[in-house]
């Protein structure tokens, strides 16, 4: 664990690897299979999703605030420039992505192990780190963040079938004050088109959403959350 990403990340003992497959009895995914590998020894989660390679790693993050200090860092590439992007993310984000392959418990265990290491009676700063990490695991188990992949597949299926994005926007409530559907907002929130961060200027695709936005996107495809296991 640390602020590095070496090349020896494949073929290590103890690494779990799962390729997502469509569930029986449900519509087949419109997206290519998702490949996720969890490396407990290095505290890493490696994701191959469509045209993206994404890594999550437990780091000592230099920034301040609730996403600073020990925790998960997302390592990806800018979708326009190809430049590497480092984004601090909570455990719930990584668990949501790993849940698509049934590996969220392993992410929780990795974070929990790090939290346990920081539990030091009489050391307030260390105890705060441990408490934050434990809270992040609880948030992940409570599905504070939800993967967008299944919703993306349903959106694509409907688009291929000829349904308009405008109609989906109306269902989701993504409408301008003028009454025009906000198609860009829907596609960006759904992670189907990349978003440029106004603060950093980096371009990345949304992979998860909070419950409220997730439900809006589910409404866009005329479905209910329980159809997506929520």
Structural domain boundaries enclosing 26: 16-147
Rg of the chain (C-alpha set)? 19
| Phi and psi torsions of 86, nearest 5° | -115, 120
Do residue 140 and residue 153 come from a single domain? Answer: no
- The answer to whether residues 132 and 221 belong to one domain is no
Task: Assess if residue 79 is contained within a domain.
Answer: yes
The pTM is what?
Answer: 0.82
Report how many domains make up the chain.
2
Shared domain for 96 and 119, answered yes or no, is: yes
* Distance separating alpha carbons of residues 41 and 44, to the nearest angstrom: 8
**Residues 44-100: tens digit of each pLDDT:** 999 998 888 999 999 998 877 777 899 999 999 888 888 898 989 999 999 999 999
In angstroms, rounded to a whole number, what is the distance separating the alpha carbons of residues 198 and 207?
Answer: 18
Q: Do 167 and 205 sit in the same domain of this protein? A: yes
pLDDT in tens, 10-19: 232 344 444 4
- Closest listed residue to residue 166, CA positions, set 152, 151, 150, 187: 187
């Amino acid at each position: 664990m640390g602020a590095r990403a070496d090349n020896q990340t494949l073929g290590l003992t103890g690494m779990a690897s799962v390729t997502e497959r469509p569930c029986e009895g449900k519509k087949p995914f419109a997206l290519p299979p998702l490949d996720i590998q969890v490396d407990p020894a290095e505290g890493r989660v490696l994701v191959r999703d469509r045209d993206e390679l994404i890594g999550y790693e437990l780091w000592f993050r230099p920034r301040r605030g609730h996403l600073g200090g020990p925790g998960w860092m997302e390592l990806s590439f800018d979708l326009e420039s190809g430049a590497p992007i480092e984004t601090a993310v909570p455990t719930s984000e990584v668990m949501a992505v790993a849940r698509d392959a049934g590996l969220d418990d392993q992410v929780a265990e990795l974070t929990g192990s790090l939290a346990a290491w920081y539990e030091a009676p009489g050391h307030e700063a260390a105890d705060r780190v441990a408490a934050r990490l434990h809270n992040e695991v609880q948030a992940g188990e409570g599905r504070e963040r939800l993967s967008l992949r299944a919703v993306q597949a349903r959106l694509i299926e409907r688009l291929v079938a000829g349904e308009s994005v405008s109609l989906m926007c109306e269902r989701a409530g993504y409408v301008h004050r003028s009454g025009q559907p906000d198609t860009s907002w829907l596609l960006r929130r759904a992670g189907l088109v990349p978003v440029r961060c106004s603060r950093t200027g980096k371009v990345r695709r949304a992979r998860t959403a909070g419950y409220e936005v997730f439900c809006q996107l589910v409404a866009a495809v005329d479905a209910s959350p329980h159809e997506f296991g929520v």
